[in-house]
Structure 1
């Protein structure tokens, strides 16, 4: 019985470790309006924002999460998240993050 319980716990841990996703919304800094079709890349996993500026992207557990956002007319932006000591990301660290992009002609662009 104890072996079955250990196996179930192990399977639950493995499932929770492999389902990490980074999600959020991308907005224009000046207008605070969502930006559609922003290209988002993290270690070869790619996606784009939808009409509300929302995106969701699968990320690897146990690895630094490096995400690059690109949109023509805007300065590209890099976002990094580090896993905790167990190699996992907290839900607040990866869920529904608000990211602001600056237009290339903005005073704040790089």
Structure 2
């Protein structure tokens, strides 16, 4: 019976989600951007007044983050899990993302 509980626990842990969060800023002013539509693997959320957003993803899945706001160039970010199949705090959490205005010289270049 104990082996069954251990198996169920391991199965449950392998299906958990990672919660990550980030902040979105205007590149030119450095100010946080509110109401940026953030789509993470098809799930849509928006930044708050401090530019903050949070989302859940499967721990072993690739992550595609799409950021959209009127007057700003669309930004797409691809992330892969680290060697443990997780998104480490270092590569995703507290990550600062900057958006460029559409008329900016940088908005037409790949980042």
TM-score tier after normalising by the smaller chain length: 0.7 to 0.9
Runs of 4 or more, structure 1, over 6 Å off, are: none
What pairs with 1:73-92 in structure 2 (closer than 5 Å)? 73-92=71-90
- Aligned equivalents of 1:91 and 1:2: distance in 2? 34
CA contact (8 A) 1:39 1:48 kept: yes
- TM-score between both structures, scaled by the size of structure 2: 0.83
Give the helix-richer structure, 1 or 2: 1
Q: CA RMSD in A?
A: 2.1
TM-score for both structures, normalised by structure 1: 0.84
2:28 aligned residue (25, 30, 38): 30
**Other structure's SS at 1:92 match:** coil
| Count of paired positions | 108
Structure 2 residue 3 is the aligned partner of structure 1 residue 3: yes
Q: Which runs of 5+ in 1 are unaligned?
A: none
Secondary structure of the 1:87 match is: coil
